[in-house]
Structure 1
Amino acid sequence: MSLPTDTVLDRFLRYVVIDTQSDPASSTQPSTEKQKNLGRVLEQELKALGLADAHLDEHGNVYATVPATSDKAVPAICFCAHMDTAPDFSGTGVKPQLVRNYQGGDIRLTGDTSRVIRVAEHPELANQIGHDIVTTDGTTLLGADDKAGVAEIMTAAQFLLHHPEIPHGPVKILFTTDEEIGRGADKVDLEKLGAAFGYTLDGSTIGEIENENFSADGVTITIKGVAIHPGTAKDKMENAIKIAAEIVARLPKDQAPETTEGRQGFIHPVGISGAMEGAKISFIIRDFEEQGLTDKEDLLKTITEQVLSAYPGSTFTFTVKEQYRNMKTVLDRHPEVTENLLEATRRIGLEPKITPIRGGTDGARLSFMGLPCPNIFTGGHAYHSPLEWVSVQDMETAVTAIVELVKVWEERAA
């Protein structure tokens, strides 16, 4: 039995008004209980579609299976999206606005009229003439990242269930929590999921396929200075705050997020705190190659040593923590995963464009856990901001891509 409102737009509008913002300061999984509110909705909708194994687990992950309709031994394919929205901007009280039959021009948002989605800043709008565009009212983010992906997977599952004449293998569905704070795959049970290969629906412009992402490390530098009363400090005080400031000031300007693009990596300070006697600087290091990470970490350590050489009474510790790695390492060992996606994209009339992700993704973590998992477009734009928007027609195209992809896997199975 299908639900009464089951277009991709209907689903999307249902999902975005549910506040699912994750919280990096929380140590629980999920980091916020409210993420389970959407999980419970999805569990019930999947059951209403007839998927008896649909369930929400204790960590907020949702699992379900669309049974195979083919007699071939087709590998089980998973489609994954995350339910949480980013902590960067409020996700409470989302009021989606629908601009029907967009005819060009800037879009001024209704709840905060100072916010405008400008064509000059969002050139992809030029390809949306005649489309229906969903925005916020400007006071919250929209949550197309990644509720567009959730809605598309749900709609594709419904389509496959309504069309059993389409031959396909087992289709596994996975909705995760806490992707936006880097924990999306932490509690996923791959054995229970039972998929051979996967695809995250968490991309942007239609036609773009992402099979590569940054490799990532975190670096923490702690500095122990020499504290002394400022009235008697001459030639004795070594102020840890100033030492930390010197380190940051010496960072190469051509290796920063604000000066790099494409395949260029960066060294990015994300936190600094301290007092005269001690300070701490937190960095994220990003590069598509592991050697690039090592080179940047070596450079950062050299800068730190050079600064500290002028402060003989002070010491530092330099701690590197691995965060995630480039999924292309895994995907290159399973070329059929990307090749089938490219074929499906072409079949629906798009010219696929392979682009690297300048960030992380559940797909990277899942790939290294044993589920090779590139990223598919969803049609969303301007993520993590009140200017976020998505085209209804592009979401429908993503649904078509999912359906075509499972057909390609079945055709090419032995």
Structure 2
Amino acid sequence: MKSRLAFAGAAAALALSLTACGGGGQASGGTTLEVQTGVAADTNEMATLKAITADFEKANPNTKINLVPAGTNYENDIKVRLSSHNVPDIWMTHGWSLLRYSQFLAPLQDEAWAKNLVPDLGPVMKDGSGALYALPTNVDITGIMYNQDVLAKAGYKPEDIKSWDDFLAAAQKAKANGASAVYAGGKSMAGTILDHIISGAYTQGDLDKMKSGTFVPEKYAQALDLVAKWRDAGLFNPDYSSASKTDMSKALAQGQALFEFGPSPIADDAMKFNPNAHIGFIPIPTLTGAPSYLDTGERTAYGISKTTKDMAGAKAFLAFIAKPENESKMAAASASLPGLTDAKATPGPFSASYDEYVTKGKTQAVPYFDRVYLPNGAWSTMGNGTDAVITKQSDVNGAVQQMASTYKSLSGQGK
């Protein structure tokens, strides 16, 4: 594509003008680096990052780290910071270190830890020349989350769900047993549902067209048709519109939900509500007849502004986080696999699933659809359209046309 960024027109000029604009300032006796963490103040990730930062500051007394928790609209906050030339020294790139932020970030592929990047992250985080722009503290590899007890009560085993017909049959049985077959946390999580299943609607030829700037509407419609089918079958939770991610965790933990689509921390939080919950994930069926797959991508990752006033200090901080023991802690705090191969995975709610489908099964992992095949800015349209289909505020055709228009305007391809 000629452009993958919503603010591409202004970005080139902005990149040239961002000289000596880093957020770092001089503290008494040293430098203070601003780190926009991208995680909420009350999360395990933040607590772990604070502990690691304290250790770093003890070892590096001349460098202070200002950890800033995420606000209610982190993505927009970062865009405002970039456009106003008020760039933090380090920020969490929330899945977009390459396609959205690379022009503002310092390349890190020559750092000692970079050689240990998990291979699945290479296609997502490296550009054509091999440049890497962020340190991943975890890798998001997920499928369809499920409650094992609810699935067993419905008369199914995880390996029985090989197609969407199998999924529907198990879901209908779970509904008959009183559980929400597909539990979703409202509008904010609607896009996640479609993002998980849509890759399985496209052939490789379709994906090549999408990546080169030609929208393929019929396959997008096919994925939305599946969501509409679940809606018509009454599979979604009755409180869908008011539910939250916390509600998703509770429902999964307490056996009120069979299937859920969402990030790994939902399962981690579920264990807080019920430490004895049996939770896992299964691969995602396709609509093309191809083998099932898992979704993967950059999740929590930190990049350094190329205009920071203390590049050495910023790189030292990332290198400290990248130490195997610290990388392992950060991954464990998010119930995810580490982003570097020399770190250790900590047993969590998905351990058995990782072992079954990733370690042993070597199930194909594909990048999140929106991060590769949709232009920057299209995520909100994906979420809004999916939500409108679930709530019957729009039919499938309307949601497809909305995405087609967004795709055309943001990609700049005129197709």
TM-score of the alignment, normalized to the shorter chain, above 0.5: no
Q: Which structure has the higher relative contact order (CA within 8 Å, separation 6+)?
A: 2
- Give the strand-richer structure, 1 or 2: 1
Q: Under a length normalisation based on structure 2, what TM-score does the superposition of the two structures give? A: 0.25
- Give the helix-richer structure, 1 or 2: 2
Q: Under a length normalisation based on structure 1, what TM-score does the superposition of the two structures give? A: 0.25
